[in-house]
Amino acid sequence: MVVEVHRRFPYWGPRKLRQVLVNEGHAGLPAPSTITKILHRHGCQVATPMSEQAPYRRFTHPEPNLLWQMDFKGDFAMRAGRCHPLSVVDDHSRFALCLRACAAVNRSHVQPALEEAFRRFGLPERILCDNAGPWGTSELRAQFTTFGVWLLRLGVDITHGRPFHPQTQGKCERFHRSFKVEVLNRSTPWRDLAHCQSHFDTWRESYNHVRPHEALDLATPASRYRPSLRPFPPSLPPIEYLPDDQVRLVKSKGEITFQNHFFFIGQAFVGLPIALRHALPDGRFDVFFAWKKLGSIDLASSLKPKFRYNPLL
């Protein structure tokens, strides 16, 4: 029985294999150390074991859908073109909400994949990404791309990890390690995106529903996940503000005018309304896009007043 389950899941260690047998209803199973001896006795070894890493503390959100992590795995060659795997993982449960074989790293490929995840699982509170495109921007004065603005209009916050600190997205990084070992490190060539997607879908189903997860005390991600109660709307909701807000339309260069000053907000907001809301101390205005506070303007400053993004973004 141990050898058979090892042949089904050759990349998993003895603790995971034992948990799979438990989940399948088997009783009276030996300890993981005995399973290791059984595997060695039959000449079975874990295929391409992952290197051990020093443990580090990682914050986990207490409920599903409070935070999703999204990232691209490094691309690889197919017979025709290259594949860019896009992954979206729930922070609390490690449930893989999306694993899409994309032809390129841009909004036209990411948004349809994310829309499909939203329709199946609802909307999260926030998505964490790195600083690369299509969700990050190299524009020093801006914080959002058009993709990020689309998320804000849906009521989904978007934040970015610290540059050159991939551990900020540790759930995605760990997911990618398993994905690389169990799927991408194969000797037969990948034909095309459809071929990749077929293998991605099969592995994602096993990852979510069969594979015991060490960080979950050997529970499966699917056992810890539940869909969001916030449904994906059929169309973008209207942008509404409070009656006392002063609303300005973002001009073609990404700027608004307010009290005889120009303030750069960002090219991603061109043509959209921005609200300025009076705040204390006197002379300061908070700047909102829909529900999201972007930053503030201090007109009482002795220097030339500027719009400053909220540093928590």
Is residue 112 over pLDDT 60?
yes
Q: What is the pLDDT of residue 57?
A: 47
Alpha-helical regions (H) of the chain: 2-8, 14-23, 32-41, 107-121, 146-153, 170-179, 193-209, 221-224
pLDDT, one tens digit per residue, over 42-90 is 766 665 544 444 444 456 778 999 999 999 998 999 998 999 999 999 9
Q: What is the pLDDT of residue 52?
A: 42
3-state secondary structure of 76: strand
What is the pLDDT at residue 169?
Answer: 66
CA 103 to chain CA centroid, nearest Å = 19
Q: Read off the pLDDT of residues 191-212 as tens digits, 9 standing for 90 and up.
A: 999 999 999 999 999 999 988 8
pLDDT of residue 125 exceeding 80, the answer is yes
Q: What is residue 53's predicted lDDT score, i.e. its pLDDT?
A: 42
H or E segment and range at residue 249: strand 246-249
Maximum average pLDDT range among 81-85, 186-190, 259-263: 81-85
d(CA 150, CA 236): 8
pLDDT of residue 227: 96
The whole-number pLDDT of residue 47 equals: 56
pLDDT for 55: 42
Confidence of residue 152 (pLDDT cuts 50, 70, 90): very high
- For residue 80, what pLDDT is reported? 85
What pLDDT, on a 0 to 100 scale, did the predictor assign at position 58?
55
163 pLDDT above the threshold of 90: no
H helix or E strand, kind and range, residue 82: strand 82-90
Mean pLDDT of 16-38: 79
Instruction: Assign 34 a pLDDT band (cuts: 50, 70, 90).
Output: confident
Domains along the sequence of the chain with CATH: 2-41 (no CATH), 68-224 (3.30.420.10), 246-309 (no CATH)
pLDDT bin (cut points 50, 70, 90) of residue 153 is very high
